[in-house]
Chain A
């Protein structure tokens, strides 16, 4: 069991003299037994970070520590980590048993019968004991996935590294495996770093999530914290589906003035802004309420443009009713309402944006100036 520390880890590649920074000064403390999810869009450096931990990429700067020992310069074999690859990387010419035994044979001095026993035990735990004598090509995608996991588990490493291990499975199997993987990790209590671009996996699986963008660490927090109190605009926009609505606004006379509407702010919120003039207002679709007629300060007359029924909820695309054909005309935003809420394209309604649910970001730096009020008991299950 081990604590893994990334201390200012940096990776840059040389491309014909140009220095390309893939990971820039990432520092994360991963506690013993913790499940940390690295999440971000394609090319954000999450896989590179994982590969540096595995020893498959050299570390250009900073330090990797496992239980206080610097492992930055160690060969992968000497790090006591096991990795699960997106493509599973099962050796096609070996049986499942040989695949699982390979790591133990190469990295330990265990006797063959001890290895054999351990492989059988792990296979039983994973429910793949009938597959042990088969070749990978004779297995289904889900079975291959299990074998790949079993191959990592059998080594009993200090750290599991998983690089999008579920992304080659179909949706149904993916959600089953997600739960199973979580349960396994909890039972084994092995420190795990899990890379994904899928925010559902990020939100549901991790003890904490680390969000990366352009090689920079944006925020490390529990999933709910990152969802409700995003450190910046990127995190706010990345997490959540449909994603947060953003409106450019200027602060004038205690109100936010956008191209489409004016949003009066309370004193408390204004204090958070610290005198910023240009900001970006953010509000999550599920926080927008639909009312019959705009009555309050934070209600706006809108027309329903498109309705996407998902069953449990409807994604409703709304358009502001503007008197003039100004700059903001035609701009739609999204509201997510209960699936039983009767709403159809062309309906004229009121959209209420509660002040308790708004986020305000600095336009230039993207830093969150004000985050929504939070009910500590609130549970959010994103799509």
Chain B
């Protein structure tokens, strides 16, 4: 996702301010020519670079931004099934409908909970594991691979794993809770537990990613900072809390943006895990609701409106990050 945004920004940067991306000294020429007549102005640099940026620019523009625009247009009309939309009357009825729909409110709430709980828990678990791995333990690389491995598995596969683990009769989770005298639980079908179970499974899959990001951040901190803190009399806990963790601000920001954007579009895992329930109780988030409305209920316009709102949420998360990166000159 982030990559796609980077690409998009890059593509746009190239088309609009074609001086910025140039490093071959062509900038001044382009600026001067633009001020003069247009036809004489299309510089050789511009024409020469055309074959390189135009195809991806056109493809991105059509398939990504064109599709988003089309989706937006669709959300302004009311079209059921695969009927021909009538664009003569445009309104925001679908959005108003969403705010009056209890299942939309509950899906939005679930999305928010998933967004916050999942991101925070992943960051905390990832940070702790990264610190442990960074303390020059034996088999460090092996541990790192083990923690990161869940990331490489398909969500459909891991969802199936967790379905078995959460199985009421003989799932490992219930076997353990029963052995501990806590009894059995309907982890997936009980609406009160389902979201927690999903968040737990997702943490298992994603904390490895947070760990890798944090580990890179930790590796960038010079050993002298640890040593200076020790000579300064700080305990291990204080050393991490006051000297090391504050220096991981950049890693925290970039990891949380990726995790939050993932949480917004965590469709496949939830669909594979709880897709059997119509509608899923307790685990319905905006993306699963959108797919259900579009392809099961046939409310294409309603689904499009939900999609646009999800898109705006993603922008709201990514935009501040990109601005921050841009200000720091890292973009």
Scan A82-117; emit 1 where CB is below 8 A from any B CB, else 0. Answer: 110111010111000000001100111000000000
Q: Which residues from chain B contact A107 at a C-beta distance below 8 Å? A: 232-233
**CA of A161 to CA of B228 in the docked complex: distance in angstroms?**
11
List B residues 238-258 near A (Cβ within 8 Å).
Answer: 238, 242-243, 246-247, 249
Residue in B closest to A93 when the chains form the complex, CB atoms: B246
Residue in B closest to A92 when the chains form the complex, CB atoms: B247
Contact A81 B231 (CB under 8 A): yes
Indicate which residue in A55, A77, A85, A108 contacts B228 across the interface (CB closer than 8 Å): A85
Indicate which residue in A75, A102, A155 contacts B242 across the interface (CB closer than 8 Å): A102
Q: Which residues from chain B contact A89 at a C-beta distance below 8 Å? A: 222, 224-225, 227-228
**CA of A169 to CA of B84 in the docked complex: distance in angstroms?**
74
Q: Which residues from chain A contact B246 at a C-beta distance below 8 Å? A: 93
Contact B228 A106 (CB under 8 A): no
Indicate which residue in B227, B234, B238 contacts A85 across the interface (CB closer than 8 Å): B227
Scan B243-280; emit 1 where CB is below 8 A from any A CB, else 0. Answer: 10011010000000000000000000000000000000
B22 at the A interface (CB under 8 A): no
**CA of A79 to CA of B276 in the docked complex: distance in angstroms?**
64
B230 at the A interface (CB under 8 A): yes
Indicate which residue in A86, A92, A103 contacts B232 across the interface (CB closer than 8 Å): A103
Main secondary structure of the interface of B (DSSP, over half): helix
**CA of A75 to CA of B232 in the docked complex: distance in angstroms?**
11
A309 at the B interface (CB under 8 A): no
**CA of A81 to CA of B227 in the docked complex: distance in angstroms?**
12
Contact A83 B228 (CB under 8 A): yes
Least CB distance from A147 to B in Å reads: 12
A189 at the B interface (CB under 8 A): no
A193 at the B interface (CB under 8 A): no
- The size bracket of the interface on A is 20 to 34
**CA of A55 to CA of B226 in the docked complex: distance in angstroms?**
13
Indicate which residue in B225, B230, B235, B242 contacts A55 across the interface (CB closer than 8 Å): B230
Residue in A closest to B248 when the chains form the complex, CB atoms: A93
A153 at the B interface (CB under 8 A): no
Least CB distance from B174 to A in Å reads: 46
Q: Which residues from chain B contact A318 at a C-beta distance below 8 Å? A: none
**CA of A169 to CA of B299 in the docked complex: distance in angstroms?**
70
Indicate which residue in A76, A91, A108, A161 contacts B225 across the interface (CB closer than 8 Å): A91
**CA of A215 to CA of B242 in the docked complex: distance in angstroms?**
36
Contact B224 A54 (CB under 8 A): no
Q: Which residues from chain B contact A55 at a C-beta distance below 8 Å? A: 230-231
Least CB distance from A101 to B in Å reads: 10
Most buried by B among A85, A86, A155: A85
Contact B227 A56 (CB under 8 A): yes
**CA of A106 to CA of B233 in the docked complex: distance in angstroms?**
5
Residue in B closest to A98 when the chains form the complex, CB atoms: B242
Contact B222 A77 (CB under 8 A): no
Scan A210-235; emit 1 where CB is below 8 A from any B CB, else 0. Answer: 00000000000000000000000000
**CA of A125 to CA of B235 in the docked complex: distance in angstroms?**
29
List B residues 208-233 near A (Cβ within 8 Å).
Answer: 222, 224-225, 227-233
Interface residues of A (CB under 8 A from B): 54-56, 75-77, 81-83, 85-87, 89, 91-93, 102-103, 106-108, 155, 161
A-B contact pairs, 27 of them (CB 8 A): A54-B227, A55-B230, A55-B231, A56-B230, A76-B231, A77-B230, A77-B231, A77-B232, A81-B231, A83-B231, A85-B224, A85-B227, A85-B228, A86-B224, A87-B222, A89-B224, A89-B228, A91-B225, A91-B229, A91-B243, A91-B247, A102-B229, A106-B232, A106-B233, A106-B235, A107-B232, A161-B231
**Further 9 A-B residue pairs, CB within 8 A, beyond A77-B233, A89-B228, A103-B231:** A54-B227, A56-B227, A77-B230, A81-B231, A82-B231, A83-B227, A87-B222, A102-B243, A103-B232
Q: Would you list the 9 A-B pairs with minimal beta carbon distance, nearest first?
A: A107-B233, A89-B224, A103-B232, A77-B233, A89-B228, A106-B233, A106-B234, A93-B246, A83-B231
